[in-house]
Amino acid sequence: MPIARLLMKCGVGYREFAEIAKCAFVDVATQDYGLRGRPTNISRVAVMTGLTRKEVKRLRDKIQAGAQIDVPRLAPYNAILNQWHMDPNFVDAQDRPKPLMFDGKGATFTSLVKKYGGDIPAGAMRTELKRVGSVAEDETGRLTIQKRYFLPDEIDVQLQRALGCSIFGLATTTNHNIDREDEGWAEIQAYSKRIRVADVTRVRRIARDRSEEFAKSINEVFSAYETIYGDELSANEDEGNVVGVGVYYFEADPDSGYFFVKG
């Protein structure tokens, strides 16, 4: 649920997530499970991922073309916003989105949603677009578009940071440590089920302070190595590795089932 909550805050719907996820599964199956150094064939990728051979081919072609990160805005409200800019019935002579009445005759918001919103009611679409700040409604009920896509710049940066650093780093470490016989990478968590509600604020502050102290000590180690080998790595960047340590604090609702396994 935390990942779904993060994505929805950033305007990423299920269909967008599913397309990205399918690309990732196909890419990993293709690159990691080939024989004799060759990429995995389409039939085996289909078996491993549960996708059809036709879908695997489409996604592999997309990946090979370098388009796997260019995922179309598939969330219904983004489709509405896009077509409001594109459909000749809903733009003016300067190709700008027309202000639309909610319903009535001619080009209306209701007709736009009926044409491009699938089975979603126009009222629900209006409520959501107003909530995310993509549409404004005046006192007469006229709707005007405020932005083409719902993806706030400040949230977009937060999403990239979360996915690129925290989630990616933790998942990479967990994957590395699975089924390893030798010593794995550091993956340590401390948690308690018995912190009183009255003590949470103090515990949270202590965790932040000690985490910052630990992060600073690790950063000093990294800085020392960068100072020693900085010029050498600058001359040959291929010899440098990305190394990182993550420390994070969390609180979980007991009803979520996270970490609350009886044993």
pLDDT tens-digit map of 4-13 = 877 777 667 7
State in Å, rounded, how far the first CA of the chain is from the last one: 23
Tell me the pLDDT tens digit for each residue of 177-218. 887 777 788 888 888 888 999 999 999 999 999 999 998 999
Taking only the tens place, the pLDDT of each residue in 108-163 is 999 999 998 888 899 999 998 888 888 999 999 999 998 776 655 455 566 666 66
The residue extents of the domains of the chain are: 2-64, 76-145, 188-256
Taking only Cα atoms into account, the Rg of the chain, rounded to an integer number of angstroms, comes to: 25
Q: Would you place residue 15 in the very low, low, confident or very high pLDDT band (cuts 50, 70, 90)?
A: confident
- Chain segment 67-124, per-residue pLDDT in tens: 544 554 556 777 888 899 989 999 998 889 999 999 998 899 999 999 988 888 999 9
Question: What's the rounded Cα separation, in Å, for the pair 80 and 93?
Answer: 20
How many whole angstroms separate alpha carbon 217 and alpha carbon 87?
A: 57
SS3 137: strand
> Is the model's pTM score more than 0.75?
no
